[in-house]
């Protein structure tokens, strides 16, 4: 049986999944840029949004940051999201930023299909992640990811524009939002440009830890 | 002991507390306008956002719609929000719309202070609601509401712009959002223009029913 197509993101209470872009966004994590005020502001906001992830045992294990870490609901859900994923689809901008910041063992450990416009040979990383570059459209990238995922689910990993493209195309079955207790004011809104007249949501579950609320919805046509 | 200043609203998952305004917004509920496509769209969206409220026993009681209705978490929280409120503050646009649509027994049953620019005599309704019109600023309206509320809390009832004005002025202690499983795409965003650099949030509680998730946050300076 084929798996589901889903996305899972952390969102600020005012609807943002990323702070406002800075000039030279791809080089954001470069050591020599860490003193620039705009870069510091971006990283401070992004860190607050993702705050719930860093102490988790699963996160530390997956990034080989050492043993230990918090267990409990947040950890269980982060691990579940990882384990259900048989393949990911990613936009080019997310890949460009990640290429410069993921550790050598990129944290996906499955095939990742990057929606792009140029051709490039697959890029195999130690630890199980191979990036495949797909230049003939979002539907084809998803087809390849479904095939690679087998029984498991396909995650639309991001960024925001890529997620929205799949959502508006009616290709997402379900999504999870981890709602962080933070306001951004500006940045990339998850649902900016959503085709609200065609998408209905059905609550699947809502569970809260001391830090965040994890919301899951099924997507239905309307 | 003085109570808290809070607001409590229903919000779409993409951050809207009201659909996009229609021309002649104040007359939205007029019977002769119910066939206009823009009015129908507004009402359809607003009804979806507020869907969780209509079947509740408390809602039916308070609006004198008859006995019966659903009990449970949603009902308990709606009743709690009503009972904690000793006085409300409201913007002029919300009042103008409500003046034409509330039943004769307006559903507040406490003093309501309307932030406005003209003077008008207090308007007393049967059932305990009296509207007072305050034309010397948001802080003065709040002072009067605090005094009227005594030990109970002051609710900033709405609309969105008024809530944001109080939030940005650092005058809100706590707020609750009932997150509805609906996407609007356009409309009035709750946090549009929020001064994110000065507001920190602390999760107080998060509870879900089958329909919606009720989130409460304390507001802290940062």
For the full predicted model, state whether its pTM sits above 0.90.
yes
Check A183 against B203: CB less than 8 A apart: no
Q: What pLDDT is recorded for position A1? A: 55
| ipTM for the predicted complex | 0.95
Q: What pLDDT is recorded for position A30? A: 85
Average pLDDT over residues B192-219: 97
pLDDT tens, chain A, 222 aa long = 579 999 999 999 999 999 998 888 888 888 888 899 999 999 999 999 999 999 999 999 999 998 899 999 999 999 999 999 999 999 999 999 899 889 999 999 999 999 999 889 999 999 999 999 999 999 999 999 999 999 999 999 999 999 999 999 999 999 999 999 999 999 999 999 999 999 999 999 999 999 999 999 999 998
Q: What pLDDT is recorded for position B26? A: 80
* Closest Cα in chain B, distance from residue A150 (Å): 30
Q: What pLDDT is recorded for position B28? A: 84
Give chain B's mean pLDDT.
Answer: 95
Among the partner residues B183, B215, B217, nearest to A191 by beta-carbon distance: B183
Q: What pLDDT is recorded for position B1? A: 55
d(CA A112, CA A127): 13
d(CA A166, CA A157): 11
Among the partner residues A181, A189, A206, nearest to B202 by beta-carbon distance: A181
User: 3-state SS of chain B?
Assistant: CCCCEEEEEEEECCCEEECCCCCCHHHCCCHHHCCCHHHHHHHHHHHHHCCCCCCEHHHHHHCCCCCCCECCHHHHHHHHHHHHEEEEEEEHHHHHHHHCCCCCCCCCCCEEEEECCCCCCCEECCCCCEEEEECCCHHHHHHHHHHHHCCCEEEEEECHHHHHHHHHCCCCCEEEEEEECCCCCCCEECCCCCCCCCEEEEEEEEEECCCCEEEEEEEEEC
* Closest Cα in chain B, distance from residue A218 (Å): 10
High-pLDDT (> 90) share of chain B, %: 89
Q: What pLDDT is recorded for position B77? A: 98
Query: How many residues would you count in chain A?
Result: 222
Q: For the segment B118-145, what is each residue's pLDDT rounded down to a tens digit?
A: 889 999 999 999 999 999 999 999 999 9
Band of pLDDT at residue B31, cut at 50, 70 and 90: confident
Q: What pLDDT is recorded for position A217? A: 98
d(CA A190, CA A172): 14
Check B179 against A217: CB less than 8 A apart: no
Check A191 against B179: CB less than 8 A apart: no
């Amino acid at each position: 049986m084929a798996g589901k197509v889903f996305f899972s993101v952390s969102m600020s209470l005012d609807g943002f999944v990323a702070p406002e872009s800075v000039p030279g966004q791809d080089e954001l994590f470069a050591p020599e840029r860490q003193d620039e005020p705009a870069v510091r502001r971006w990283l401070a906001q992004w860190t607050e949004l993702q705050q719930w992830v860093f102490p988790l045992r699963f996160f530390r294990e997956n990034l080989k940051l050492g043993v230990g870490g918090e267990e409990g609901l947040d950890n269980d859900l982060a691990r579940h999201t990882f384990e259900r994923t048989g393949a990911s689809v990613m936009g080019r901008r997310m890949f460009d930023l990640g290429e410069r910041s993921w550790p050598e063992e990129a944290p996906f450990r499955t095939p990742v299909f990057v929606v792009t416009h140029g051709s490039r040979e697959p890029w195999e990383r130690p630890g199980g992640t191979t990036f495949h570059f797909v230049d003939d459209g979002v539907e084809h990238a998803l087809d390849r990811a479904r095939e690679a995922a087998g029984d498991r689910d396909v995650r639309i990993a991001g960024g925001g524009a890529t997620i929205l493209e799949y959502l508006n195309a009616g290709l997402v079955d379900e999504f999870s939002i981890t709602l962080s207790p933070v306001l951004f004011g500006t940045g990339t809104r998850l649902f900016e440009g959503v085709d609200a007249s065609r998408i209905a949501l059905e609550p699947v579950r809502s569970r809260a830890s001391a830090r965040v609320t994890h919301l899951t919805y099924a997507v239905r046509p309307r």
